[in-house]
Chains A and B, each alone.
Chain A
Amino acid sequence: MMFMTALHHLVVGLVAGSGVIMGICAILAWLSSYISNLESSKTTLDRAAYVASIFTLIVIPLAMISGYYSSTNSGGAMFYNKFLFSGIAFGFTSSYLVGRVRFGPELWKYSSLANLQMVSALFALTSIIILGSIGSKITLGESTLDILPFWPDFMNSIVINQWFSLFLVIIGLISVVISLRSSSMRFSLND
């Protein structure tokens, strides 16, 4: 479907752009606690990362849907890996957003929370870079990350049985609900 292919290329560009903004701004916001020159920009960086994370969460599912219906869908291991890394990128981006919503802009004052947010943003950024590289491998046959000596083999993938994947979805859903509920209960106990 030609329209979907063009749309996929557009949306992938948006994912890469917003993902990089989120990652870089979050890392700089974290660094601002250690580098005095960045201190004055902390609020701006925090807000930029916050908005970019919301936008990334909107465009990642669009990229997955358009990619599924595009002509680049070869159905092979590399395409499977694209789905997996989309899920990983979505997981870390949503973790960053949830953390930012729960604790507000003050979270950067607490080193442990700031480190956790930085790790979430860094992993999301890395996943998006890998996603882009896999896409480039599929369409162009090469990617800029080919210069790395340890580039993993994306010609293979870890395929889990569908029923087990469904079981993991349920487990994941329950763990998210329990994590959010237990944290809210803990806070109400602290009140």
Chain B
Amino acid sequence: MKSRIIALSAILILLLATSSGVANPGGKGDSNRDYTCGGSCHGDPSLSSASSAIIDVEMQSTAYSSTTTEISVSITNLDTSDNGLVGIFLLSSKNGNGDNPEDHGWTIIQDPNGGSSNYVEVVSSENQATVSWVLLAPEDLGVKEIYVSIHHGSYYNHNNKAFIGETDAITVNIEPIPENYPTLADGWTSPEERISGDSSTITVRTVNTESLMVYWRLSGESQSHEAIVEMISEQEWEVSLPATLGDTRIEYQMVATMGDFSNRMPWLSMGTSEPYFDGTSLGANLQSISFALIILGFMVSLQSWFAPRGVRKIIDNTAEVEESITDIQETSIPDSDNEYWSRLIKSEENPGWLWDPIENEWVADPAVTPGGDV
């Protein structure tokens, strides 16, 4: 009984798990993939349909062994979902396994997004997309085949189908490399990105190259500039490209020369990444609060230090008022009054009274209170 429950539970879990693998409408990101993701759900005829897109591929029909070549893919008449996402495969077969061009001797130096994957996802614009790969041709001579396949969603896609398009084989004849042909060294790949603000050089390895010239431009610009190239050892060069900021992409093209022969290679590109940063939000909050409190404490101390005596009492003017009243009382007794009070005579018989001998009258002594106390 227990084993049955376990078996049923396992089947139930497996059945439930199938629902999470239906489709990836947001894409899966750039990576190395076989045709239709190796026969996944997108390859299922009930879950896919033919795309209306037109795929044009431009590639030289002849390439020298182990030299760079470019394949340019232009896709038009696309009907994508509202995010405009298109997945594009560069393949060397349509078997469903071992379809990556690198499985057939090609080397991907750079994919359209700056990496080195055979599958990339791009956002289409105005129902079209144009991308290009830079490849190093295989060492094996003979005719090689290249395919391009796409898959995407659709705006009106009630059945959640994947729309798949593919080209026929594009044949490339790989010929032996001419003697002393200047090109890139086998295995060298373009750096995918540099840290923002980093102006350090990139190292390029070549073969049969007497001199190397490098031109650079920012992505989207047409005018190119010559970069500084320095040979650091035999067939190894340091190229100084300007630092980039934000999400800028810099493109560069190398021209390798041997004698009178020059090999102008395809444009490569390099992205810009944010530098590694180990600060956390909590740390930023704590540091911010600590700065605020320390500044406040310091400034309050300075205020106390600079405060003149009595400034705190500016609002409470009692002392000043009392002082001014005393002054008024003191100054309110004129000199003539002093003469008047000095002529008055105290009388022991009539305490609290003074005798004025000129006016012949008794005057109340101001130094004695009405009760008679002095």
Contacts and interface: CB of A to CB of B under 8 A. Distances in A.
Contact of A83 (B246, B287, B293, B307): B287
Contact of A171 (B286, B294, B296): B294
A77 B290 CA distance: 18
Interface residues of B, number: 44
Contacts of A149: none
A106 B298 CA distance: 22
B289 interface: yes
A179 interface: yes
B315 interface: yes
Interface stretch (B21-29, B99-107, B271-279): B271-279
Contacts of B313: 187, 190-191
Given A102-B303, A183-B300, A172 B292 contact: yes
Contacts, number: 168
Which residue, A92, A104, A120, A162, has most C-beta atoms of chain B within 10 A?
A162
Contact of B306 (A79, A98, A112, A168): A112
Interface string A103-126: 110110010110010001000000
B223 interface: no
A180 interface: yes
Contacts of B196: 155
Nearest to B294: A172
Given A98-B300, A113-B311, A187-B312, A76 B277 contact: yes
Contacts of A62: none
Contacts of A74: 274
Contact of B283 (A159, A173, A180): A159
Nearest to B291: A87
Given A83-B288, A113-B306, A157-B279, A168 B274 contact: no
Contact of B288 (A84, A104, A112, A161): A84
Given A83-B287, A106-B314, A159-B283, A180 B300 contact: yes
A122 to B, nearest CB: 12
Contact of A113 (B284, B303, B310): B303
B325 interface: no
A173 B314 CA distance: 28
Contacts of A180: 300
A169 B312 CA distance: 29
A150 B84 CA distance: 43
Contacts of B308: 110, 112-113
A88 B299 contact: no
Contacts of A120: 299
Contacts of B159: none
Which residue, B282, B287, B294, has most C-beta atoms of chain A within 10 A?
B287
Given A99-B303, A110-B311, A141-B245, A159 B279 contact: yes
A64 interface: yes
Contacts of A136: none
B280 interface: yes
B298 to A, nearest CB: 7
Given A87-B288, A113-B306, A141-B246, A159 B278 contact: yes
A94 interface: yes
A95 interface: yes
Contacts of A179: 297, 300-301, 304
A92 B285 CA distance: 17
A179 B291 CA distance: 16
A104 B286 contact: no
17 contacts: A75-B277, A77-B275, A91-B291, A91-B294, A94-B296, A98-B296, A99-B299, A102-B307, A103-B303, A103-B307, A104-B315, A110-B306, A116-B303, A162-B286, A168-B286, A172-B289, A183-B304
Interface of A: 64, 68, 73-77, 79-80, 83-84, 86-88, 90-92, 94-95, 98-99, 102-104, 106-107, 110, 112-113, 116, 120, 141, 153, 155-157, 159-162, 165-166, 168-169, 171-173, 175-176, 178-180, 182-183, 186-187, 190-191
Given A83-B284, A159-B277, A159-B279, 13 more contacts: A68-B281, A74-B274, A87-B287, A91-B294, A91-B299, A95-B295, A98-B300, A110-B307, A112-B306, A113-B308, A171-B290, A179-B301, A190-B313
